[in-house]
Amino acid sequence: MDERKLYKSPFSTVLWSVAFPGFEQLYNGDYFIGLLIMLWIAAINFGSNLNLSA
């Protein structure tokens, strides 16, 4: 069988990681860790009231 590895740009990986924490892992195929990081970041944001405007 001919299994080819899909090339993933390191630059693109860094951009995903900077824009959305956890998306780097999703982009690389590590779904469990990616979702875990995304939930952790959401919990920190909601718990610290970081996004309140007043």
Report pLDDT digits (tens) over 21-44.
888 888 888 899 999 999 998 898
The model carries a pTM of: 0.69
Domain boundaries, the chain: 10-47
pLDDT over 80 (residue 53):
no
Task: Look at residues 39, 14, 42 and name the one whose alpha carbon lies nearest to residue 28.
Answer: 14
Q: How far apart are CA 53 and CA 42, in angstroms?
A: 17
